[in-house]
Amino acid sequence: MDQNSPEVMTAIQAAIKASALCEKIRMDLAGGESLLKSDRSPVTIADYGSQAMICKLIKERFPNDTIVAEEDSKELRRPGCSKTLERVTDYINAFIPDSSSEEVCSWIDFGSNSASGRFWALDPIDGTKGFLRGDQYAIALALIEKGRVKLGILACPNLYADIHHPFGEKGCLFLALKGNGSFQMDRWGVNKRPIFVSKVTNPSEAVITESVEPDHADHLTHQRLAQKLNISKPSLRMDSQAKYGILARGEVTLYLRVPSSAEPGYKENIWDHAAGSIIAEEAGGRVTDVMGRPLDFSSGIKMEKNHGTLVSNGILHETVLKALEM
């Protein structure tokens, strides 16, 4: 697979379209409306719309590929949700004219649970809470073969393109191909440039990024670790896999995700890390769990063999792993 492979082209096109759809919905959403899934996490019409569109585009080009994706249409098909389904369909129609609600549900349901062989892992909106808050979110798509991530795309529609102009142009697309490096493009897929992790060698100069949501990671342990390493700069809290993107382009040095004490046995989903991890690694970074084990994308939807995650510029990885043994 190279930069011009149909997999890469299709994934980029799908991510660009989904991110345009999500931004349109985000602009229109009054007061962060959402409905609750059975696990009570917020899900918006954008999650459904993004998944429908990406699954449709991938299945059209690769009919034999499996897509492991976060959403399904069960809730959406309930009679009480007909208004929501209508709205999802209306939004999709702006991109794929004449789509019916039935088609939209069937595209969403291209998503399956079968994470083996060659498959795509999709989070149609990673960081839904950030999306609803008007903060960061990402559309995350990865191609996995035999447990190894071969291709990762992260669309971060609300992320500033250039750290020196935080209020400047927004919308980034990150792309990585195994053995081929990591790249950042603008939201339309142009202006492609290689990105690299930071070269910080002194732990005290490191900058940490972590989740905004306290239930998703143990902020207190992160803070203790920062003290131990004499890190003085405040942590940068950000939703979604955009954290992997800003680490890959050298803006931060460490992305810590020590499991929260609220849910110490939590197992991470593959779609929450597959795309981001290859983008960090191909930019020169290192990605493991907090025990130093490689991330496991071969055991199904959950990363059963891992405990939290640690992402670094590579140089500081061992030092941080040691410091985590406290």
Active site residue ranges:
47, 128
CB 148 within 8 A of CB 138: no
Please report how close the Cβ of residue 259 comes to ligand AMP at its closest, in angstroms.
6
Distance of CA 106 to the CA centre of its chain: 23
Residue 123 is a binding residue for Mg ion (CB under 5 A): yes
CA angle 186, 174, 276 (to 5 degrees): 155
d(CA 102, CA 255): 41
Q: Could you tell me the smallest distance in angstroms from the CB atom of residue 90 to ligand AMP?
A: 26
Is 47 a binding residue for ligand AMP by CB under 6 A? The answer is: no
Asked whether the beta carbons of 105 and 238 are under 8 A apart, the reply is no
Q: Which of 23, 109, 272, 281 binds Mg ion (CB under 5 A)?
A: 272
Total residues at interface with ligand AMP (CB under 6 A): 13
194 DSSP assignment? E
In degrees and rounded to multiples of 5, residue 158 shows phi and psi of: -110, 15
Q: Which helix (H) or strand (E) holds 160?
A: strand 148-160
Please identify the residue of the shown chain whose CB is closest to the bound ligand AMP.
Answer: 211
Q: Is position 127 an interface residue for ligand AMP (rule: CB under 6 A)?
A: yes
Which of these ranges, 36-44, 213-221, 266-274, 276-284, lies near Mg ion under the rule CB under 5 A? 266-274
Query: Which region, judged by CB under 5 A, interacts with Mg ion, from 2-10, 84-92, 173-181, 272-280?
Result: 272-280
User: Interaction with ligand AMP in 215-254: which residues (CB under 6 A)?
Assistant: 215-216, 239-240
Interface pattern 248-287 for ligand AMP (x via CB under 6 A): ------------x--x--x--x--x---------------
Query: Widest CA span of the chain, in angstroms?
Result: 58
C-beta closer to ligand AMP: residue 272 or 281: 272
Judged by CB under 5 A, which stretch of 98-106, 126-134, 179-187, 316-324 contacts Mg ion? 126-134
DSSP structure class, residue 233: S
Partners of 321 in the β-ladder: none
Question: Beta-carbon neighbour count of residue 82 at 10 Å?
Answer: 12
Among 47, 71, 109, 126, binds Mg ion (CB under 5 A): 126
Q: How far apart are CA 15 and CA 191, in angstroms?
A: 16
For binding to ligand AMP (CB under 6 A), which residues are involved? Answer: 126-127, 211, 213, 215-216, 239-240, 260, 263, 266, 269, 272
